[in-house]
Amino acid sequence: MKLHEYQAKELFQKAGIPVPKGRLLTSRDKLGSVLEEIPGPPWVIKAQVHAGGRGKGGGVRLVKGQGEAAEAVAELLEKPLVTPQTTAEGVIVHQLLVEEGVDIDKEFYLGMTVDRKLACPTMIFSPSGGMEIEEVAKQSPDLIFKEPVNPATGWMPYQARNLIYKLSQVPGGYTVKELSSTMKKIYDLFVANDCSLLEINPLVITKQGSVIALDAKMTIDDNALYRHKDLAQLDDPREKDPLEVLAEAASLNYIRLNGNIGAMVNGAGLAMATMDVIKLAGAEPANFLDVGGGASEEMITKGFEIILKDERVRAILINIFGGILRCDVLARGVLEAAKKTDIDVPLIVRLEGTNVEEGRKILEESDLDFLVARDMAEAAELVAKEVKRQG
Ligand code: GDP
Ligand code: MN
């Protein structure tokens, strides 16, 4: 789960990591009162969307007065923002963060993530932070420095010095102290909140010599959300695919993809294999959906409804190997969903396993129109053929 910049900065502030003074703005008419509370001009007005690269897309505006601020708000709020990380349509900006402008002297990159190869949390630091960090990583990887952290000892003060002394110009003692303390706090915050990513880009030294986190990115491991109820509440469903939001509410493992074959499968492994055979047959899946081993009739109904809601779906493949999930439960779930929605695309079913006879019988005795496939390969060929037939 991703946090918005303003949410992450609130956590930073509580942890004692310095951030600019700022206020969230959700409606144009509050701008005047918000500006009164924030030192400036200059102010910075920042679109709050999960997509990165906002600066490049015009989502970060440095404004020198009330008039310019009002213009920026009018251009950004409730409008789509296109960045290098969004689709061409962009994402709608519902919230802006208004902050005091900072006099930047140097921009660094400071991040923390779990390094999969080293299998431990790792601090990443670069003296060339800012909007071009991806280019820096590609062109001059020697400017990206890493400090893996042994979870048994935690972050050690010498590791901060290791990173800071990589700077060609080591700043004065006071700044070194501030940088090291920020690194330690970032590590603690990362661990305490079960983050998979924590990123400050840029972490700046101001012309006045203080260290400030100008940007903040935090991703929380979804599997740890059960023990961070307060963080789970910060989730912004507007940033997500609406079908994925429905699926999450129904405890279904659903991921929307780019193709046009709706797939309903039980078991993540079988679902992955099903995607593979669909592709092998020359077609593209519209989604990944693992209804899970112990899916109830309601879950099946919900899953099928979600597939039917996806306008791009031109054919549906149900591939179930009944184990704990019995084929008759699946059949009833599908019929239940079919009652609520018109199925106007071909349906291909491949059922095997527990209560398969009963499941087939339920489907056959219904007025549902579907094709039966004997095995997975045939199922994939049938859906691919159906989609090709539609042109
Ligand atoms: P991102 O593009 O989504 O990563 O958004 P950032 O929050 O990193 O902002 C992009 C860039 O805007 C930063 O790299 C800074 O160079 C610039 N910026 C952000 N806040 C300030 C500020 O207070 N003063 C100045 N001068 N520049 C800023
Ligand atoms: Mn940034």
Determine the pLDDT at residue 367: 87
Instruction: Give yes or no: residues 41 and 97 share one domain.
Output: yes
Partners of 147 in beta bridges: 123
Q: Is the CB of 45 under 6 A from ligand 1?
A: no
Q: Is the CB of 111 under 6 A from ligand 1?
A: no
Q: How many domains does the chain have?
A: 3
Q: Measured between alpha carbons, how far is 42 from 266 in angstroms, rounded to an integer?
A: 56
Write out the residue range of the structural domain in which residue 29 sits: 21-101
- Neighbouring CB atoms inside 10 A of 47's CB total 27
Instruction: Give yes or no: residues 249 and 323 share one domain.
Output: yes
Instruction: Give yes or no: residues 91 and 181 share one domain.
Output: no
Instruction: Give yes or no: residues 121 and 143 share one domain.
Output: yes
Q: Is the CB of 42 under 6 A from ligand 1?
A: no
Which among 3, 12, 19, 44 is the best mutation to test ligand 1's pocket, defined by most ligand atoms within 8 Å of the CB?
44
Nearest ligand to the C-alpha atom of residue 201: 2
Segment 324-332 shows an average pLDDT of 89
Fill in the DSSP letter of residue 86.
S
Q: Is the CB of 40 under 6 A from ligand 1?
A: no
pLDDT at residue 252 tops 80: yes
> How confident is the model over 124-151, as pLDDT tens digits?
999 999 989 999 999 999 999 999 999 9
Segment 75-99 shows an average pLDDT of 94
Determine the pLDDT at residue 229: 96
Cβ atoms of 292 and 302 closer than 8 Å: no
**CATH assignment at residue 186:** 3.30.470.20
Q: Measured between alpha carbons, how far is 55 from 59 in angstroms, rounded to an integer?
A: 5
Q: Mean pLDDT in the chain?
A: 94
Determine the pLDDT at residue 231: 97
Among 239, 281, 228, CA closest to 259: 281
Which ranges of the chain would DSSP assign to H, the alpha helix? 5-14, 31-37, 66-76, 133-139, 157-164, 173-192, 229-232, 242-249, 268-280, 297-309, 327-340, 356-365, 376-390
Determine the pLDDT at residue 63: 98
Instruction: Give yes or no: residues 33 and 129 share one domain.
Output: no
Q: Is the CB of 60 under 6 A from ligand 1?
A: yes
> How confident is the model over 342-355, as pLDDT tens digits?
788 999 999 999 99
User: What residues contact 348, with CB distance under 8 A and at least 6 apart?
Assistant: 315, 316, 317, 318, 370, 371, 372, 373, 379, 382, 383, 386
| pTM for the structure as a whole | 0.82
Q: How far is the CA of 325 from the centre of ligand 2 (A)?
A: 46
Query: Which of 101, 117, 146 is at the close of a domain?
Result: 101
Structure tokens at 345: 């695309």
Query: Which of 218, 239, 260 is at the close of a domain?
Result: 239
Q: Measured between alpha carbons, how far is 48 from 169 in angstroms, rounded to an integer?
A: 34
Instruction: Give yes or no: residues 132 and 254 share one domain.
Output: no
**CATH assignment at residue 78:** 3.30.1490.20
> How confident is the model over 22-32, as pLDDT tens digits?
999 999 999 99
Q: Sorting pLDDT into bands at 50, 70 and 90, what band is 20?
A: very high
Query: Which of 60, 82, 101 is at the close of a domain?
Result: 101
Q: Is the CB of 201 under 6 A from ligand 1?
A: yes
Cα 228-233-238 angle, rounded to 5 deg:
135
> How confident is the model over 182-241, as pLDDT tens digits?
999 999 999 999 999 999 999 999 999 999 999 999 999 999 999 999 999 999 999 988
**CATH assignment at residue 345:** 3.40.50.261
Instruction: Give yes or no: residues 255 and 285 share one domain.
Output: yes
Q: Measured between alpha carbons, how far is 18 from 123 in angstroms, rounded to an integer?
A: 18
Segment 105-121 shows an average pLDDT of 96
Segment 79-95 shows an average pLDDT of 92
Q: How far is the CA of 213 from the centre of ligand 2 (A)?
A: 10
Determine the pLDDT at residue 359: 92
Element (H, E) at 283: none
- Residues, Cβ < 5 Å to ion ligand 2: 201, 215
Question: What residues are labeled active site?
Answer: 109, 199
Nearest ligand to the C-alpha atom of residue 131: 1
Q: In ligand 1, which atom is closest to the CA atom of 44?
A: 23
